[in-house]
Amino acid sequence: MAREKQLQALAEDFMCVTGVVPEIVYAGDPVLRTKTQEVDVEEGLEIGQRLGRVLKKYRKLTGMGRGLAAPQIGESKRVFVTLNENQEVDIFINPEIIRYSDSTNFFREVCISAGIISADVERSEAIRIKWIDGSGQEQEDNFSGDLARLIQHEYDHLEGILNLDRAVPGTISLATFDPLKEKLRDQPIPPTSF
């Protein structure tokens, strides 16, 4: 019964999001499966600011959501945003991941465009990426841990790839755990633990 109530609450939250944040598109929409196009800086900044507004609205509503990519609002362009620890929006325009570490980890990822479904995904522990930032400046930097994972997830959206596509076999499940308490792991979660 407790699980039934939990699932009902998840479904109700999801229906609420689809009503209050109508900009978001969901798995099944072809734009999420399409490799995106580069933008000029002006267009990239406009899309980045729009993404930031949608992400903040989503986060205010659900308490979750740390990143959003342009295809998730129906724009097939190479732009994504993340929320930093101060809840400010960081914009990544025409990003390119130029190095992936050989060392990897696992994490049960949820995605705003996959609703209440989660998938355990293996990704590189660290990356090096170059991009144009929210002030139009070229940047290049290394990221590791949680941020490296978030950036790889958002970058995948620009390639037309969802977390569900990268799921460790047998790990696509309803997200009945607390995503905010999820930690990076050395091993995938056994499917029976979902």
Q: Is 159 a catalytic residue?
A: no
Q: Give the Cα separation of 163 and 152 in Å (integer).
A: 10
Of the candidates 42, 154, 159, 182, the residue annotated as catalytic is 154
Q: Which residue is nearest to Zn ion (CB)?
A: 111
Contacts with Zn ion by CB under 5 A lie at 111
- Beta pairing partners, 192: none
The residue among 111 and 119 lying less far from Zn ion, judged by its C-beta, is 111
Query: Which residues does the annotation place in the binding site for Fe cation?
Result: 111, 153, 157
| 91: DSSP letter | E
The residue among 45 and 156 lying less far from Zn ion, judged by its C-beta, is 156
Structure tokens at 48: 């980045």
Q: Give the Cα separation of 21 and 129 in Å (integer).
A: 30
* Closest CB 39 distance from Zn ion, rounded Å: 19
* Closest CB 46 distance from Zn ion, rounded Å: 21
Contact by Cβ (8 Å): 32, 113 = yes
The residue among 132 and 149 lying less far from Zn ion, judged by its C-beta, is 149
Phi, psi of 179 (to 5 degrees): -60, -25
Catalytic residue positions, numbered: 154
